[in-house]
Amino acid sequence: MRMGVLGSRSTLLLLALASLALQAGVCLASSDAPRGVSLPFVFDPKATCDPPCKHAGICIRNNTCYCSHGYEGETCQYANCNPKCKNGGECLRPGKCRCPSGFGGRYCHRVVCDGGCWNGGECTAVNGEAKCICPSSWTGTKCQEATCPQGCRNGGSCVAPGICTCPEGWVGGACHT
């Protein structure tokens, strides 16, 4: 198979157009070529775009870019993630989002608590922020602090759910005797 030439444009442009794999449009091959590249737009091989098309976009008419898959905008300057980035994420390139703090995953769809949640806590979004939801016997930003429902008196410290460490001279479940 022999393809036509695009005048002063290099074979690279022809290959770029062919790689778009588009159907229905205008044939770009010379008249003696058995096959051409068909595109869904009118293409001017002498067109110039200023500023130039970005991200492998092709200048099809003066100052008109045809963007490659995953990009959009007048000069193909914006990445387009599909599905869209969630939770305020920014699309960096097709399929790659920059996620805000508290979110992760390819499209920022997963809630992520920095440092994780301890002691059976569950990371979830609360008012747009990642928070650990702690089981009833734990508290703290990461569920790292045990709770003692009876309280620890006389300077005692809660070291595990319902267990107090008592200072010298005090005993009992709540350091009360």
Comparing CA positions, the residue from 128, 137, 175, 169 lying closest to residue 156 is: 175
* CATH code for the domain of 167: 2.10.25
| Tens-level pLDDT at each residue, the chain (177 residues) | 233 333 333 333 444 444 443 333 344 444 443 455 555 667 888 999 999 999 999 999 999 999 999 999 999 999 999 899 999 999 999 989 999 989 999 999 999 998 899 999 999 988 888 999 999 999 999 999 999 999 999 999 999 999 999 999 999 889 988
User: Among residues 48, 72, 96, which one ends one of the domains?
Assistant: 72
Q: Are residues 64 and 88 in the same domain?
A: no
Residue 59 phi/psi, 5-degree rounding, is -75, 110
Q: Are residues 21 and 61 in the same domain?
A: yes
Residue ranges making up the domain that contains 156: 147-177
- Is residue 116 a part of any domain in this protein? no
User: 118 lies in a domain?
Assistant: no
Note whether residue 177 is domain-resident.
yes
Dihedral (CA of 79, 81, 84, 89) sign? negative
Residue 22 has what pLDDT?
35
Prediction pTM value: 0.52
Q: Looking at the 3D structure of the chain, how many domains does it have?
A: 3
How many angstroms separate the CA atoms of 35 and 33, rounded? 5
